[in-house]
Structure 1
């Protein structure tokens, strides 16, 4: 990996370090001699601090400078990474919300709600809904008291399809639910819901008492039967049983309140069915949620004009890109913190060719395939300009193809910007911005370890110096004591000779 951090020449570093250390030590030595000459008492603590600090000061200064440089490089790299991520995320949100797409609009809102599909739509479509998808619903006989013991044993739910009075079991296994003695309607509902079979149960109250209501899932293939196995000493569960051959007027078992059916509709003249009323990508650019029927009276689905939204979106895209390019230009200028950064240089190269990059490789002849086809041009300094005349022409001649460029699919404007963002934020690539940030953080950790080692060595040296100065102080004190004694003796001898 190419390192971004800058270091000094080893020869000049060694020379500078030696010179600085020698100067500092010389000053400390002069102080020591002065102390000895004047008083014979050494300020050991101050001298040890000065000499031990002088020994490592140049190394510490260099390491702190490197740390500061790395911090700036990490900060600037992270800023660029975040700017790319923010641009990608903003585009994703804008497109996912359908703000840059041709949005479908239905004339008869009581028939269905419509939303944009995963592809781009255009033109108009007709919709006629014959039947809605329904879930099978069963209702038990009414019980006058909610506390009534409904019996014990088990209930078995089997899924399949129903044709007339014939039930054909599906491929899924039946679900058997144990019902304990003393269970009430609410207890049975809880047991069924806890079984997770796909059938939900609840207790409803009417004028004469309470009923257990069972509801399955939408679609003809989600029809179900309920069979009961009763304890001979505690019967009663048969009131919840039901099969297609049961009499709907029978009071001994559940009744069919609603049959399971598929939705049937005609879209653009083509008859279709669906197991649910929610239909994704029913047609290019159209997802449906059926809510009513209009047999014999089809309604129209059209698409809103995305021209203004796309124009605004392109203008905002150029503004965001120029902010990134300006930051890059500052960081990579001669002497800039990222002047030697491969990650920054790669992002700069990718952005410089953005207007000519093919974002729609499958575009038909004559349809826009690059951002340049939408009016994006690159200036000499790498910033961008939007040619609104080119964009307006593209929208006028082929609005749907332009709108198709603004999706969250594998191709398009978002996919291209997102790829640039992912590349910049790919920490496993040593030459990316993220990879170099990781490398620089490792360098900072190494420097922190070196500074810690220096602190330990400096402390050790200080302790050694204190020991030496203590011994020297003792020696000087002893010598001065001897000097004082000899001086006194000489004075005595001199005085004695004078007297005689």
Structure 2
């Protein structure tokens, strides 16, 4: 009810001297106060449970995210080492399992075709109007084999186009060609550089074949290998190398599709002197990660122990908390590498993780060191972001705990508490509506009563005045 309406009703209540609106509000609030307080207390208790469960779920999710980051790009990411760094850089593709060693002998690097035009007076010299066509393919001596799968580049030129604007139009086409102008002793020249790879050579045709064309005539830009007069500065070529003695080629110096996700960037040649590619062992990093993981699990376990106390715990007797307790207790014995060969480490317990009777965790470094010494490659294989391993096991645990489809999980508990809290919110809304209705009803009744009191007071005042008149007249 607005301030204006309250003032009006207050004035109407002047007869008794009582604020009927406030009285109606106080009585209606008192009528529902006990129920509202009880519901509000239950709602706050549910909010505390939701917060406690969400905190546990978030802690586990953060542990999984941090572990995944370290496996993909952090200290546990596979790192390849090339014995001759001048020959190549080696990496591994995300999610790959780095293992083994390889020999690498690079006999040729991939190259780009570089073509310099005949000389012009300046870079502002006009080149002529018309259409310039660049076709892609393989240049073999004075022969050109066009690549039918590569669409030609067509550049439309106007009478105002210069050598410099032509360079910009070629580059902006996005075909991998780069063009620019240079000033030489002979004059200004247009330099065009193609993509890497033998099949990415190119020719230039303008529709006119006049060998005596002069600067300013479009045909002056023509180039074909059989008519080359020194414009070809570098020929396009594929990279050639041997991996473990197997001859291979690549159109680019960035080589993918190699075993175990190996990725090479070829930077030099080493014919007759093979380099060795190997993968760094991560024994120290595994010790660090397992130490950090045990500490993070201890934080989760301590939070869980506090929240799940039978008396006073926010999640006492909660099914999701009990499920998390069971899952954490089972971690050391969990098989994280189901396809591991006999004798190869396959559980977190073999990496030194121990679950104590009080629910806490500790790391047995002696057990971990024995595993690393006996089978460093098998231990390293447990730390990949693939379908199996430590990360996959922890990610699955986090996902199962967070799911709302299982009523016995933390996610299921959160969903259940949120539904209960929403129902309480609906009941509080209903109580408020009932309280508002009662307040309006009482205010109406009290106002009418106050009017009658006011009328009675007016009558009494009239009678008193009349009696006073009568009394004075009798004297």
TM range (shorter): 0.7 to 0.9
Partner of 1:21: none
Deviations 1:387-408 (A, max 9, x none): 2122111111111111111111
The 2-side partners of 1:483 and 1:318 are apart by 88
Change in 2 beyond 3 A, CA 1:451/1:301:
same
2:234 to 244, 258, 265: 258
Change in 2 beyond 3 A, CA 1:462/1:289:
same
The 2-side partners of 1:357 and 1:400 are apart by 20
Q: Aligned ranges for residues 158-169 of structure 1 at < 5 Å? A: 158-169=135-146
1:201 aligned onto 2:166: no
Partner of 2:113: 136
1:72 aligned onto 2:53: no
SS at match of 2:394: helix
Change in 2 beyond 3 A, CA 1:449/1:400:
same
2:123–2:181 Cα contact (<8 Å) kept: no
1:246 aligned onto 2:227: yes
Cα offset for 1:347?
3.3
Partner of 1:51: 27
1:271 to 247, 259, 263: 247
Cα offset for 1:494?
9.5
Partner of 1:332: 308
The 2-side partners of 1:431 and 1:373 are apart by 30
2:192 to 205, 214, 226: 214
Q: Which is further off, 385-394 or 325-334?
A: 325-334
Cα offset for 1:173?
2.7
Q: Aligned ranges for residues 67-216 of structure 1 at < 5 Å? A: 67-97=43-73, 99-100=75-76, 103-117=79-93, 118-122=95-99, 124-170=101-147, 171-216=149-194
The 2-side partners of 1:331 and 1:472 are apart by 56
Change in 2 beyond 3 A, CA 1:352/1:237:
farther
Cα offset for 1:159?
2.5
SS at match of 1:368: coil
Runs of 5+ consecutive residues of structure 1 not aligned to the other structure: 1-34, 250-254
SS at match of 2:265: strand
Deviations 1:325-366 (A, max 9, x none): 222222233253233544444333332222222211221221
Change in 2 beyond 3 A, CA 1:235/1:439:
farther
1:374 to 337, 351, 372: 351
Partner of 2:10: none
Moved over 6 A (4+): 231-235, 487-497
Q: Which is further off, 74-83 or 336-345?
A: 336-345
Give me the TM-score of the superposition, normalised by structure 2. Answer: 0.85
1:158–1:174 Cα contact (<8 Å) kept: yes
The 1-side partners of 2:137 and 2:375 are apart by 49
The 2-side partners of 1:434 and 1:181 are apart by 71
Cα offset for 1:324?
1.4
SS at match of 1:113: strand
The 2-side partners of 1:214 and 1:321 are apart by 60
Question: RMSD of aligned C-alpha atoms?
Answer: 3.3
Change in 2 beyond 3 A, CA 1:277/1:425:
farther
Deviations 1:270-316 (A, max 9, x none): 22222221224644474321111111222233443321111111111
Partner of 1:386: 363
Q: Which is further off, 86-95 or 101-110?
A: 101-110
Change in 2 beyond 3 A, CA 1:367/1:143:
same
Give me the TM-score of the superposition, normalised by structure 1. Answer: 0.81
2:120–2:187 Cα contact (<8 Å) kept: yes
Q: Aligned ranges for residues 433-472 of structure 1 at < 5 Å? A: 433-434=410-411, 436-437=413-414, 440-441=417-418, 443-472=420-449
Runs of 5+ consecutive residues of structure 2 not aligned to the other structure: 1-12
Partner of 2:205: 227
The 2-side partners of 1:476 and 1:278 are apart by 99
The 1-side partners of 2:229 and 2:420 are apart by 80
Change in 2 beyond 3 A, CA 1:204/1:404:
farther
The 2-side partners of 1:61 and 1:209 are apart by 92
Cα offset for 1:132?
0.8
1:158–1:226 Cα contact (<8 Å) kept: yes
Change in 2 beyond 3 A, CA 1:268/1:441:
same
Cα offset for 1:317?
0.8
The 2-side partners of 1:431 and 1:138 are apart by 71
2:133–2:154 Cα contact (<8 Å) kept: yes
Cα offset for 1:101?
5.3
